[in-house]
Amino acid sequence: MQTPLQTPPIGVLVMAYGTPRSLEEVEAYYTHIRRGRAPSPELLQNLIDRYQAIGGVSPLNEITRAQAEGIEERLNKSNQGSFKVYLGMKHNAPFIADAVADMAQDGVSHAVTLVLAPHYSTMSVANYQKAANEKATELGHPDFVHVDSWHLEPKFIELLSDRVAEALKLFPSKDAVRVLFTAHSLPERILQVGDPYPTQLRETGDAVAAALGLTNYSFGWQSAGRTEEKWLGPDVLDVLRELHEAGENDVVICPTGFVSDHLEVLYDVDIECQGLAKSLGMHLERTASLNADPRFLDLLSDVVLNRAKDIPGIGQ
């Protein structure tokens, strides 16, 4: 029989990328991303234009908070103890360090961390975990156990499969449709250290394809940073051009590495990719984001509960 969780509750640090809450915050936000280097006036205006194109503000903060609240609600209905969820953002308040400080102030001694990204990379998830660990070490607690990835969780594959299946219904013949699984590109140098990120994306896509019996599918990268170094490819825009040249004009993009509607989905896919597709005479559809889908929140709470078993005294 499982040992009841002690008081104070087990902490859960839900971490996400963050986004500006208004156009006035765009410069500070991207200055933080660029490690203190402000974007040029041209780049800043381009970024502001992108946010204006999706309505002036990204819904990511609101969605992330709904996700965190939904996870906490499910954890505390699980009959497996008391949990308190804290939300920490990488690039805007509340920052990860602030959330860890709140946990320490509340007397939380043990906690699970969960990054709202399914695939692990040394340049993404690992950096979130590092930020949490550094602040916890400074304060003396809490002790963290980390969720590294959840890219092959059965419920995740089921959710993506359902969304791909719904998108395929929008075409006369699904057999002629190319399904394109995408994730945020990262600098190509991650390949030199054997980073699992590209492999995990392929594993997710392969699992969804197997569940649906898909044979016409491939992978692409999107939203690469504006730096001089080489990023993972092929870029999704190049893939669309190549498909068109090969006579394939029906495409479903499944932004597999993104769990919420935000700029990289609402602009990069819905506006940029869609605009290119229309100019080429292609029919492009995108799968619906997971956002705060109750089934998605069930999945995330299950992932946290499973990881909490590794906290001393919990999983006995």
Contact 119, 185 (CB under 8 A): no
Angle between helices 60-76 and 294-308 (to 10 degrees): 60
Annotated binding residue 120: no
- What are the structure tokens assigned to 38, written together? 């402000």
Annotated binding residue 264: yes
d(CA 167, CA 288): 8
Annotated binding residue 128: yes
Annotated binding residue 58: yes
- What are the structure tokens assigned to 17, written together? 């990328």
Annotated binding residue 184: yes
Annotated binding residue 91: no
Residues, the chain, total? 316
Annotated binding residue 30: no
Annotated binding residue 50: yes
Burial 22-54 (b: 16+ CB within 10 A, else e): eeeebbebbebbeeeeebeeeeeeebbebbeeb
Contact 182, 198 (CB under 8 A): no
The annotation places the binding site at 17, 34, 50-51, 58, 128, 184, 264
The annotation places the binding site for Fe-coproporphyrin III at 17, 34, 50-51, 58, 128
The annotation places the binding site for Fe(2+) at 184, 264
